[in-house]
Structure 1
């Protein structure tokens, strides 16, 4: 069973994405896709959550998409991450899985020929919500 906390899972997601991006030529500028941030319920255990992050790969010429795809695949394979799917000819999509922790990895391809890197955690136990601070007790007014 996975023992990551939410915070640890987010740090691992960020590490996987940034380590991948750092190997790419040309080097992309990462732009967070805000809709990827909220946690989702784990399908196999509703008491747990799945965390995800997606980043647009900015400043990459669209003519370099297939070269970026090959670089991502090569880096993941070199890192010991099995490739689970590829997009095929003229489709830069690549999916993989980090080992030994089983985070799902993806190079996605969106409308407009834009690429993004994504990583998704396995199911993790949500961090406990922070309890609101209890206001100090107000002394009762004196009785007359």
Structure 2
């Protein structure tokens, strides 16, 4: 659960960028079920590289598909964006920066790109990345209350109800 409106607004905008950031690398026929499977793979892979190993707790903040806001050429306004976030439980706050460095190292080893960081100098890490080769948005986010969560968002994908071409 978010504890401030500002954090929620910033992260909502961040996750909605998934519609437009990676058009050139995303296969246009991926379905929302396939996107959710890829999100779970990305997040559990990241978590598996962390020491101490956090307990993942699914957050309900991004549980429903969101309509793609800005479909590009060849994309449909019926496409959706899939997002998931997991709270990283059982991580003491004095280890948040260690976890942040491990997340960045894992993403880079996997060939993903770090696109931005913030809060590192004050021990409140926020890291944004993009998966390769498929352009999913990745995030490690510090939230008020001294909690961290991992999140991922797909590019625009076909709803499961859409037949593949």
Superposition TM-score, scaled by structure 1 size:
0.86
Shift of 1:44: 1.4
Corresponding residue number in structure 2 for 1:65: 96
Considering only aligned residues, what root-mean-square deviation do their CA atoms show, in Å?
Answer: 1.1
Distance 2:28 2:48 in 1: 27
The structure whose RCO (Cα within 8 Å, separation 6+) is larger is 2
Return the index of the structure with the highest Cα Rg: 1
Match of 1:84 among 90, 102, 115: 115
More helix by share: 2
2:55 aligned with 1:29: yes
Mean Cα deviation higher: 13-22 or 86-95: 86-95
Q: Deviations over 1:45-90 (max 9, x none)?
A: 3210000000000000011001100000000011111100011312
Question: Secondary structure of 1:35's partner?
Answer: coil
* Count of matched residue pairs: 129
Shift of 1:109: 0.7
Corresponding residue number in structure 1 for 2:144: 111
Moved over 6 A (4+): none
Corresponding residue number in structure 1 for 2:24: none
Superposition TM-score, scaled by structure 2 size:
0.75
Distance 2:129 2:61 in 1: 22
Mean Cα deviation higher: 39-48 or 20-29: 39-48
Distance 2:68 2:131 in 1: 18
2:149 aligned with 1:123: no
Corresponding residue number in structure 2 for 1:54: 85
* 1:1-40 equivalence runs, <5 A: 1-40=27-66
Q: Structure 2: where are the runs of 5+ without partners?
A: 1-26, 72-76
Question: Secondary structure of 1:89's partner?
Answer: helix
